[in-house]
Structures are given as structure tokens and as C-alpha cells.
């Protein structure tokens, strides 16, 4: 049986106090909506429809980037969750299979939970609702059950005292056959305290038609909906805790794990070692045996086996380190390939460049890659030795086993095996330093009178 997703992402999120649509606020470097789409991908959906509304263009741009095959439909007026899902009706006109409704501000629904909902559908239930036992039921809708049957869902604002005493609560996530879902939605009314069309009402409607509705439960943490900055912070903490635990269970050493921050897509192989206060931005892959030392920041890069980075290093997008490469303290690498065994150990910037195998880059080296309009590349050959404080004015190439003298400004290619020297000659003037200092002190003393 095919499965499909509807992801609701139309809300404003007024409690965020932000011009940014709620679902575009980020956890671990990715919008909440992306986390929801990644959760839903566990179903291998044949069709994904995202319902947008507030900030629709910005939300749709994120959808296009992360899920280009998804369909976006708009909810022009916010009339409730059933009304939102109904905007996807035309997108499912030719679809046969189950539809699962997820929420763009609920990032942690697990693959196991969605699989259990699918299994319950295959066992014959018509409508499956995801519920959880709430520590503080508060504003959540209550699930009214009779044995294993779900009779109805009551919103907290519409519940009587007996219903408010129920702790089994509604997450909002629902699975049903496509035709069944949209038939039930067409009968949902808005006779309630908010005057909205609630998706939850499909359960009561299904029951009156003799259909079977059931509940699948999950841990409350999976159902966290992010509606405020406080909840956004909580979501970040939940994600980071899970990511750290998963990395360590997979054989990665985290030294001071609470200070290490992962991105939503960080990939680290077993036997890598990560030091304290390391931050991973999006798009990082670390191979086995690599060491990322304290206070380093990495994004959009690939660190090869047994390579070392840091401490206090920055790898920017396009940085690629081969086996055993060494990147030291206060070094920045951007859009550059550092070959096997090459070293950039201190206080250097290597951007838009390639550094050959076993090359050594001295302290204070800069590849001058930007002319104010365009970027240019620097090529440094195998076993080259770049002296400290060298400026390489791109585009330029240093050949294999070539060398620069410290303080050299390289403006033309250096042949294989050659040494480049491009600095002013030192001229010593005997006694001049003492005379100059005496003159300066006399001027200062005169001003002080």
C-alpha cells in the first residue's frame, strides 16, 4: 500500500514574536519544517504535500531546496487544521493509499512510531491517531477511548471536567486511507469555541459511520510542538542530547559531550575523536580516526581518515582534508583541498586552493584569492614548503618541491623545485634606533608641558 504525507506549515506562530514563519525557525541548523519532512521520509512516501500560509513564499523556498518533489498548496485563511488538510484535496485526487498528517513545528516523530501507525492500519483500523500520556495535559486535546477503540477527541477548551481529567492526549498526527480522510473532512463543522474546523473531529465522524478508530502511543517528547522561543530552546537541547548519544553509541569519542554541538546532518564515523566546544554546522562528514580538537568550527566540509583539525580551527564550505592532513590552531580553510599528509599548522588562511600531498604551509600564510570582484585559485604542489608569512597572490601556482622564503609575496608561478624570494632587502642603520627614540621622547615631553 502506498503512503503519502500532508505536512501542515501554514501557521504564524505569534508566540515566537518573530517576522519569520514559525516552521522556519531552526534546530541544529535546519528549519523545523525540514526536521518534520525528514521524520516523514521514514514512510518512503509516494507523495508529499506541504500546506503553507503565513510567509508562504519563504516556506515554499525551503521546501523546494530540501524536498524538490514535494507539492505546496496554500491555506489563504487560517480556519483550523481540517481546513488546512482540505487544501491538499486536489493534490490527492488520483492517489490511492494512506495519508499521514504531520506538523511542520513538530520535529521529533520517530520512524518507529510512524511504522507502528502504518502497521495498525494494515491490521484493519480505519483511522489511527498518535497519542501520548502527558505529564501536564493542560491545553492538549484529550483522547476519549472505550477499550482499544478511540471514540472521539475533545479539544481542551471544549472539554468538560471529566474529559479534562484524561491524561491520554492528542498529538495531532493522524493516518487514514486517502479517500476516507477527505470524505470525513468534508463533513467537519466549526461549531466549537474557536469557530474552526478541527481535524480531530474526523474521529467522532468515523465512529458514527461504524469505522474503527484506534490510538498508537509514543513518548511525550516525540510530540513536542515548538510554539515559542523557550520551546525552541528545549527542542535544540533534545536534539543535541540524542545526537551526542547516537554518536557515542556508534563508536565516536566525545570529550566533554555537553559542549559539542551537532547539525541535523552531521556524519561522523566510528573511532573519530571530537574535543570539547566543537561546533558542527550543516554538511560535515568526518571519517574514522580523525581528530577534531577543542574550539573548532566546521561546516560544509569533509575530514578524511586520521586527519587532525584544531584546536581553534575553522573549516568552511568546500574544505576537503585527505588522509592524515593536519590543520592547526587559528587556521581557516575555505573551498580548498588539502591532500594526504599536508600540514597547515598555524595562523593561516587557505581559500580557493589545492595543497599537494606532504606540503608544509608555514605560519601566517595567506592565499590572496579575492580581487574585489572574482575569486581566484592557488595551487601548491606536492612536498612544497611555504615559508612563514608568505602571501600567494592568486591565480598562482607553486610547483612540486618548490619553496618560498619567509615574508615572500608570490605574484607569479614558481617552477617545480624552485625557491621564490620576493621581499625587500634589509638595510641596517647603525645607532639610528637610539637617536629616533630620543627624538620621540623629547617630542612627547614637550607636549606634556
Q: In the 8-state DSSP scheme, what is residue 141? A: P
- Segment 348-394, tens digit of pLDDT: 999 999 999 999 999 999 999 999 999 999 999 999 999 999 999 99
User: Which residue, 200, 211, 8, is CA-closest to 101?
Assistant: 8
Mean pLDDT of the residues in the chain: 95
Q: Give the sheet arrangement for strand 403-404, strand by strand.
A: 253-254, 273-274, 291-292, 308-309, 326-329, 343-346, 360-361, 385-386, 403-404, 419-420
Percentage of the chain surpassing pLDDT 90? 91
pLDDT digits (tens, 9 = 90+) for 233-283: 999 999 999 999 999 999 999 999 999 999 999 999 999 999 999 999 999
Percent of the chain with pLDDT strictly greater than 70: 100
Helix (H, G, I), strand (E, B) or coil at 336: strand
Q: How far apart are CA 56 and CA 59, in angstroms?
A: 5
Neighbouring C-beta atoms of residue 294, cutoff 10 Å: 18
Which residue among 35, 54, 297, 346 is the active-site one?
346
pLDDT tens-digit readout, 317-343: 999 999 999 999 999 999 999 999 999
Task: Please give the domain boundaries of the chain with CATH numbers for all domains.
Answer: 3-223 (3.90.550.10), 252-420 (2.160.10.10)
For residue 176, name the pLDDT band (cuts at 50, 70, 90).
very high
pLDDT at 364 (0 to 100): 97
On the question of pLDDT at 80 being above 70, the answer is: yes
Nearest to 156 by CA among 131, 137, 176: 137
At residue 447, the pLDDT reads 85
| Model pLDDT, residue 318 | 98
> pLDDT-derived band of residue 157, with 50, 70 and 90 as boundaries?
confident
pLDDT on residue 202: 94
Q: How confident is the model at residue 155 (pLDDT cuts 50, 70, 90)?
A: confident
**pLDDT of the residue at 449:** 60
Cα 25 to chain centroid distance, Å, stands at 11
Q: How far apart are CA 115 and CA 239, in angstroms?
A: 21
Residue 133 has pLDDT above 70, yes or no: yes
User: What kind and span of H or E run contains 393?
Assistant: strand 391-393
Answer whether residue 63 shows pLDDT above 80.
yes
Q: Contact at 8 Å (CB) between 194 and 157? A: yes
Measured CA to CA, the distance from residue 449 to residue 438 in angstroms comes to 17
Contact 56, 172 (CB under 8 A): no
Dist CA 242 CA 236 (whole Å) = 10
Active site residue 346: yes
Q: Are 273 and 255 in contact (CB under 8 A)?
A: yes
- Identify the pLDDT of residue 330: 98
CB 347 within 8 A of CB 330: yes
pLDDT one-digit tens code per residue, 269-282: 999 999 999 999 99
For residue 295, give the C-alpha cell: 574550539
- Number of CB atoms found within 10 A of residue 146's CB: 9
Per-residue confidence band for 111, with pLDDT thresholds at 50, 70 and 90: very high
Q: What is the dihedral of CA 359, 360, 366, 370, to 10 degrees?
A: 10
Amino acid at each position: 500500500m502506498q503512503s503519502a504525507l500532508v505536512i501542515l506549515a501554514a501557521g504564524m506562530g505569534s508566540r515566537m514574536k518573530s517576522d519569520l514563519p514559525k516552521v522556519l525557525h531552526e534546530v541544529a541548523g535546519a528549519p523545523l519544517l525540514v526536521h518534520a519532512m525528514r521524520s516523514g521520509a521514514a514512510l518512503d512516501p509516494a507523495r508529499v504535500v506541504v500546506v503553507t500560509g503565513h510567509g508562504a513564499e519563504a516556506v515554499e523556498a525551503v521546501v523546494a531546496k530540501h524536498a524538490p518533489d514535494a507539492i505546496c498548496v496554500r491555506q489563504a485563511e487560517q480556519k483550523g487544521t481540517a481546513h488546512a488538510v482540505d487544501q491538499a484535496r486536489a493534490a490527492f485526487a488520483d492517489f490511492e493509499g494512506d495519508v499521514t498528517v504531520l506538523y511542520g513545528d513538530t520535529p521529533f516523530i520517530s520512524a518507529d512510531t510512524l511504522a507502528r501507525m502504518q502497521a495498525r492500519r494494515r491490521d484493519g483500523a480505519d483511522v489511527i491517531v498518535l497519542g501520548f500520556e502527558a505529564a501536564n495535559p493542560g491545553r492538549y486535546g484529550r483522547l476519549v477511548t472505550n477499550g482499544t477503540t478511540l471514540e472521539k477527541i475533545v479539544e481542551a477548551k471544549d472539554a468538560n471536567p471529566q474529559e479534562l481529567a484524561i491524561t491520554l492526549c492528542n498529538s495531532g498526527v493522524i493516518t487514514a486511507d486517502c479517500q476516507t480522510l477527505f470524505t470525513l473532512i468534508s463533513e467537519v463543522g466549526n461549531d466549537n469555541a474557536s469557530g474552526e474546523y478541527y481535524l480531530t473531529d474526523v474521529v467522532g465522524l468515523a465512529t458514527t459511520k461504524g469505522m474503527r478508530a484506534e490510538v498508537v502511543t509514543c513518548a511525550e517528547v516525540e510530540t513536542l510542538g515548538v510554539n515559542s522561543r523557550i520551546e525552541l530552546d528545549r527542542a535544540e537541547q533534545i536534539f543535541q542530547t540524542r545526537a551526542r548519544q547516537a554518536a557515542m553509541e556508534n563508536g565516536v569519542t566525545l570529550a566533554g559531550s555537553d559542549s559539542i554541538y551537532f547539525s541535523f546532518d552531521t556524519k561522523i564515523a566510528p573511532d573519530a575523536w571530537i574535543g570539547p566546544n566543537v561546533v558542527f554546522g550543516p554538511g560535515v562528514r568526518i571519517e574514522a580516526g580523525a581528530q577534531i580538537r577543542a574550539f573548532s568550527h566546521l561546516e560544509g566540509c569533509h575530514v578524511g581518515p586520521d586527519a587532525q583539525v584544531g584546536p581553534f580551527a575553522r573549516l568552511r564550505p568546500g574544505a576537503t582534508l585527505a588522509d592524515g592532513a593536519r590543520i592547526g590552531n587559528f587556521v581557516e580553510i575555505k573551498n580548498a583541498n588539502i591532500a594526504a599528509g599536508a600540514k597547515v599548522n598555524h595562523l593561516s588562511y587557505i581559500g580557493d586552493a589545492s595543497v599537494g600531498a606532504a606540503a608544509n604551509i608555514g605560519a601566517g600564510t595567506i592565499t590572496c584569492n579575492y580581487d574585489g570582484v572574482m575569486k581566484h585559485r592557488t595551487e601548491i604542489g606536492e612536498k612544497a614548503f611555504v615559508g612563514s608569512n608568505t602571501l600567494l597572490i592568486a591565480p598562482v601556482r607553486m610547483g612540486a618541491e618548490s619553496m618560498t622564503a619567509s615574508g615572500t609575496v608570490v605574484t607569479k608561478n614558481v617552477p617545480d623545485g624552485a625557491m621564490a624570494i620576493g621581499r625587500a632587502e634589509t638595510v641596517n642603520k647603525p645607532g639610528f634606533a637610539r637617536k629616533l627614540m630620543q627624538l620621540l621622547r623629547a617630542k612627547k615631553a614637550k607636549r606634556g608641558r
